[in-house]
Each structure stands twice: as structure tokens, then as C-alpha cells.
Amino acid sequence: MSSSSSSSSSSSGSSSSRHRYIAARAAGGDDDDVPSTSYQNSLEVTIKRKSKQVEATLQELGMEALEERLSSATQNPASPAYRLSRLVAETTQMQGRAVIVVEVMRPTPATTPQQLAKIAQTAIQCGADALCVRLDTEDTPQGLQDLFAVVQAAKRVPVLARDWIIHPLQLVEAKEAGAAGVLGVIGQVNGRGTAVMSSFGSAIGLDAPVEVVNAREVEGLSRVGVTFFGINLSVGLSVAVPGFASDMAHGLLGELPFGAISIVGVKDLEQARKARMSGADALLVKKEMIEAAAAEGKDLRTLLDQVLYVTCGDD
């Protein structure tokens, strides 16, 4: 059994309270500034659920097999390696634009991996440079099968796996399913283990951007060799100050050391425009943005054309 296919827990942390907690950290607050209920009901619950799932997989696998999977992955890293960072280097230098990573998701829980693969092919035809597939049991009952099917159907583009990453085995599973990288290594979640997770991702040829929320994290992680950073604007949006999310992203992107790469998750065109203006190298066009466009009758091709238009600096 894989960590991503184990049964879903009924309780998940509310996204907004999870964001409020992390946002307080982003704004410079410490644990005392954050109501404990936010913490208990949010990120902690999600991570507890994920830990239980991963723990069940580890139990089933056993220590010896785990060691074997980890060491075999380091001996056979993803090839080609670092497909997303290479694409970022090419696209930003040759075309002067950001890489557009599109989230492909099941329209309903009953969608099959094969149907998801068709959705992925359509996303590429509509202009996606790279794709992202959610593995968490809150989003799909068959995360790794979804990932594998999308990778097989979309060989030309890098495919990222998105999950809460708390153990190196999850990186190995994503690599074995053919992912080019993972989204979900979060500084606030992995704490002192963040750099190890990031460097293990690199050792097996994956891009594993670390999601950061403040300049201190950027500085500390840069010092230990992290070069690919992620910014989730939803975290900043939870602060009731107009423009905080974009200001936070702008500030963090400005803190990145020379040569570092960034990916910013966006939910509307204005966020995409501001993120690119602030220097984002890749934009994750999130599920919510695609769903909102569809609700307005806007198809994916039109949406991605608009993302390109507002982020190419010509408007």
C-alpha cells in the first residue's frame, strides 16, 4: 500500500485556519501570537492525518525494504533530472516569460486515472508548460495511479506531484511514478528536516521547491543549499490587510539569493501578473483559478492565453 492510497481520514484541517496560522508566522508573529485553536484545528490536524497514512505505509514496508527503496532511488535518479528547473532556465532566458504549471484535477472523485490523463493532454494542448497532480487522499483515492497515468500521457512535459511531503519515501514514490518533482515540502511543516528533504529530492533528480513564508526561512535555507523556493499566496491572503499576499510574495521573491528559482501558486490573473512582475520564474495555475474560469464559461485555452498575456509584460 502506498501512503497516497491509504484510506482518507474524515477530519481534515480547515484550509483557512491553517493559512491563518502560517500567515501569522509569515507576518513575523511567534507561536504566542496564534490562537491555539487555529493551530490545533488546522495544520496540525492535516499533518497528523498525513503522518498516520505515511506511518501505515512504512509499517507495511518494513525497515529493510524502506532502506532498499531509498538507496535504489539514489542509485537510479530520475533521468533526465531536474526537468522543471531546466525548463525554467530555458523559458525565462529564451522566451523571457514564466513557466506555466497547470494543476490537473479530477472533476469528481469517480474520475478514473485514464480520464485524468485525457484532461492532462488537453491542458498541454491549451498551453500548459508543465503539469501538477494532487496525491493527497482529500483530493483523490488513487493519487499515485493518477500521477502515473498523467506522466504516461504527458511525456513531453514535466509533471509534478503535489502532496504534504513529510517523509523521503513520498519523494521516492513520486519519482518511481515518473514525476519530475514535488510540491509540498513546506518549511513550516518540516522544520529542521526541511533541508534534508530538499537535498534528498535533489539526490534522486527531483525538483522539490521548499515553500517559505518569511525572509528568515529564505536566508536560513539558502545557507544550507536550497535553491528552489515556493510561495503559496493563500497563506498571505489570510492576513486581513489589503495587498498583504502580493506584498509578501514580492518581499520574499526579492529576498531570494542570486541564481535561486521560484514558483508561485496563483488563483487569479491579478495574482499571476503581480507574481511575475515581482520575479516569479514559474506560476502554478491552481485548481481554484481553473474552476472559477470554467464557472464564467471561460475555457482553459482562453485562461492560459490570458495568463501569458498578463505575465509577458506587454500589457
Query: Among 157, 218, 256, 284, which residue sits at the site for ligand LARABZUK (rule: CB under 6 A)?
Result: 284
Residue 185 makes CB contacts below 8 A (sequence gap 6+) with 165, 194, 197, 198, 201, 208, 209, 210, 211, 230
How do 130-134 and 210-211 pair as beta strands? unpaired
Place of cell 496540525: 44
Which stretch, 28-36, 75-83, 115-123, 229-237, contacts ligand LARABZUK (CB under 6 A)? 229-237
Residues between 166 and 205 with contacts to ligand LARABZUK, criterion CB under 6 A? 183-184, 186
Q: Which three cell numbers stand for residue 276?
A: 511575475
Query: Among 13, 158, 230, 236, which residue sits at the site for ligand LARABZUK (rule: CB under 6 A)?
Result: 230
Residue 206 makes CB contacts below 8 A (sequence gap 6+) with 78, 81, 82, 171, 174, 175, 179, 180, 181, 182
Query: Among 162, 167, 175, 273, which residue sits at the site for ligand LARABZUK (rule: CB under 6 A)?
Result: 162
- On whether the CB atoms of residues 164 and 46 are closer than 8 A, the answer is yes
Which stretch, 75-83, 104-112, 227-235, 241-249, contacts ligand LARABZUK (CB under 6 A)? 227-235
Place of cell 497547470: 102
Q: Please state, in angstroms and rounded to a whole number, the distance separating the CA atoms of residues 13 and 42.
A: 4
CB of 101 to ligand LARABZUK, least distance (A): 9
Phi-psi sector, 79: left (phi>0), alpha (psi -120 to 50), beta: beta
Query: Among 142, 234, 238, 246, which residue sits at the site for ligand LARABZUK (rule: CB under 6 A)?
Result: 234
The alpha carbon torsion through 22, 27, 188, 19 (nearest 10 deg) reads 10
Residue facing ligand LARABZUK at closest CB distance: 265
Q: Cα-flanking dihedrals φ and ψ of residue 142, to 5°?
A: -140, 60
Query: Among 232, 238, 246, 311, which residue sits at the site for ligand LARABZUK (rule: CB under 6 A)?
Result: 232
Query: Among 263, 272, 289, 307, which residue sits at the site for ligand LARABZUK (rule: CB under 6 A)?
Result: 263
CB of 54 to ligand LARABZUK, least distance (A): 14
- On whether the CB atoms of residues 212 and 187 are closer than 8 A, the answer is yes
By beta-carbon proximity to ligand LARABZUK, the closer residue of 113 and 230 is: 230
CB of 117 to ligand LARABZUK, least distance (A): 22
Exposure letters 132-142 (e unless 16+ CB within 10 A, then b): bbbbbbebbeb
CB of 9 to ligand LARABZUK, least distance (A): 16
Q: Please state, in angstroms and rounded to a whole number, the distance separating the CA atoms of residues 60 and 165.
A: 19
CB of 286 to ligand LARABZUK, least distance (A): 6
Question: Could you give the string, one character per residue 2-31, with x where binding to ligand LARABZUK holds by CB under 6 A and - elsewhere?
Answer: -------------x----------------
Q: Give me the residues that bind ligand LARABZUK (CB under 6 A), please.
A: 15, 162, 164, 183-184, 186, 209, 211, 230-232, 234, 263, 265, 284
